[in-house]
Every structure is written in structure tokens, then in C-alpha cells.
Amino acid sequence: MSGLYLEDYAVGQRFTSASRTVDTEAITTFARQYDPQPFHLDDDAARATIFSGLAASGWHTAVLTIGLLLESDFVPASGIVGAGFDEFRWPQPVRPGDTLHAECEILEVRESRSRPGQGLIKVKTTTLNQKGEPVLFFIGNLMVPGRPA
Amino acid sequence: MSGLYLEDYAVGQRFTSASRTVDTEAITTFARQYDPQPFHLDDDAARATIFSGLAASGWHTAVLTIGLLLESDFVPASGIVGAGFDEFRWPQPVRPGDTLHAECEILEVRESRSRPGQGLIKVKTTTLNQKGEPVLFFIGNLMVPGRPA
């Protein structure tokens, strides 16, 4: 697996992913398996809900974002291993036909106190649709390996 | 859809879900589609990583938790609609054979300022494995409808 080591990250660095379009089939396939609620499954059923039409599961938006990051220059050498988030918001839903990309900014880079050779980076990530509207925002804490000696 | 309205929630209420066991097939099926990293796909490949063996994607742990909550007494009348999280951590990975359940506590209940008839609840949720170890912890903000007049 290629990718970056702790020493390659610096505060203020920015990364932008490629774009991907989400269709109805992808939205309902995810929902049927993992978040089977009416507003994620069927446009008619969704019209009567707070979403006023079919909307992707927020977890689908999250994994779409991780998929975009895994194919980007941002990816750490050991993959994307998250410890958690300081903030995590879905400002608005993803709709069928939306084209998403993710933008990251490195907020913090530090060595792990408990695991020698490992580090932690804090990354602000925003996933945007084709209108430039944010559909996911998070500040995530990722584990990143130090460069082997 | 049955479930609870804003007026049914109160600070301090607790809910406990049923339990579900996760097997290798479920872990690798999710990962192949949505988080295709070696430590989520193959036990041998995972041994050389920070996980030291096959581990479920954290997003899989998240949707398993939502699935447990959707079948619990906690579920709001309009389904589980999250605005985001104040805190979100994966304290440790889910392994094949783990049996998970989720525990919720209501931290805050309030009417929405911007949407009449809607409310927000703040919910502390912990997902635990069969040893009582937390595998997911979050404080989530959910949109909940007021009871129809």
C-alpha cells in the first residue's frame, strides 16, 4: 500500500479528492442493507418525511467520502484508520444525481504518546456536492505510521 | 412507522437494544463494498497491520448500531434522523464473532427554534461487545417530531 507517513503531513496542507456521482440505485442498495428507513429507500415514501424526497443515508455519505479519500493523495501509508471525531455534521442530505468530492485540511500532526512509531493527525474534511454545498463536515483523528527507519 | 415523539423523551431516560452477533462474512461484505482496506477484508492481511487481525470497518460498527437502535424502544416516530455528533469515538475494533448491543441515555430534549413542530434530542450512545467493552461511543443530535395535535 502506498501513501503518506507522519513526516509527510504538515499543518495547513490541503488535499482534494476526485468526484463521484451517486445514483438512486447506489442510495437504495446501501439503505436496504444498512439503514432501511423509508426516506432512504423510496422517493414516494420519502416525500412525506422531513427529507421531502429520497436522501442517502448519512452513513452512505460517510463511506462515499472515505472511498474518495482512499483514492486521493491524502491517504496514509497504513490506510485510513480513524480513532474518532471531534465534530461531525451532515449539513444537508445527498440526493440522487449529486456529484460529490471531498476536501481535507491538516489541522494537527503529532507523535503518539502511547504507541512508539505511530502518530496522529487531525483532519478537517468537508464533502461538497456539485453546487458547492457541504453534505458532510468532520474533524477526524486518524492514526498514521511514522516512516520506517 | 411507530415510535416516540418529542414529548415522550425525558432527560435521563435509558434504552437498551437487543444483541446481534457479527461474523466474518458480514464484516468482509461491508468492507468490499464500502471500505475496502486490507484490515477489513482478510485476516492474514490484517495480521501485519495495527489491528493485528480482521476488524470491522468503523462505519460497519456504526450502521450495526443504527440497526440495533431501529429495532429498539428508543426509535423516534419519524425514524432515526441525525444532524451530527458532538463526540464520536471507536475505542476498539469489532472482531468476527463479537456480539454487540447498544445502550442510550437521553441527555437533552428541546424544541427546534427553526422548525415548528420539530424537536432535537441529544443522545449518548455506547455500543458494547460481549465482554462489556465499548466499541463505539457517541453523543448524537437527532431530529424528532412533536406529537401531532
Q: What is the pLDDT of residues B60-92, one digit of tens each?
A: 999 999 999 999 999 999 999 999 999 999 999
Q: Domain limits at B90?
A: 6-145
A54-85 as b/e: b if 16+ CB within 10 A: bbbbbbbbbbbbbbbbbebebbbbbbbbbebb
Which of B30, B79, B145 minimises the CB distance to A37? B79
SS3 B44: helix
Q: What is the pLDDT of residues A68-90, one digit of tens each?
A: 999 999 999 999 999 999 999 99
Identify whether A24 is part of a domain: yes
Identify whether B119 is part of a domain: yes
pLDDT of residue B149: 80
* Reported pTM: 0.95
Q: How many domains does one find in chain A?
A: 1
Identify whether A23 is part of a domain: yes
Identify whether A46 is part of a domain: yes
What would the mean pLDDT of B117-135 be, rounded to a whole number?
97
Identify whether B1 is part of a domain: no
What CATH number does the domain containing A135 carry? 3.10.129.10
- Using a CB–CB cutoff of 8 Å, tell me whether A118 touches chain B: yes
Within 10 Å of residue A49's Cβ, how many Cβ atoms? 19
Q: Which residues of A touch B78 (CB under 8 A)?
A: 49-50
* Whole-number Å distance between alpha carbons of B19 and B68: 7
Q: How confident is the model at residue A116 (pLDDT cuts 50, 70, 90)?
A: confident
Which of B49, B66, B85 minimises the CB distance to A35? B66
Q: How confident is the model at residue B116 (pLDDT cuts 50, 70, 90)?
A: confident
Identify whether A105 is part of a domain: yes
Identify whether A1 is part of a domain: no
B-contacting residues in A 73-102 (Cβ below 8 Å): 78-90
* Whole-number Å distance between alpha carbons of B30 and A136: 21
* pLDDT(A92) > 70: yes
Identify whether B124 is part of a domain: yes
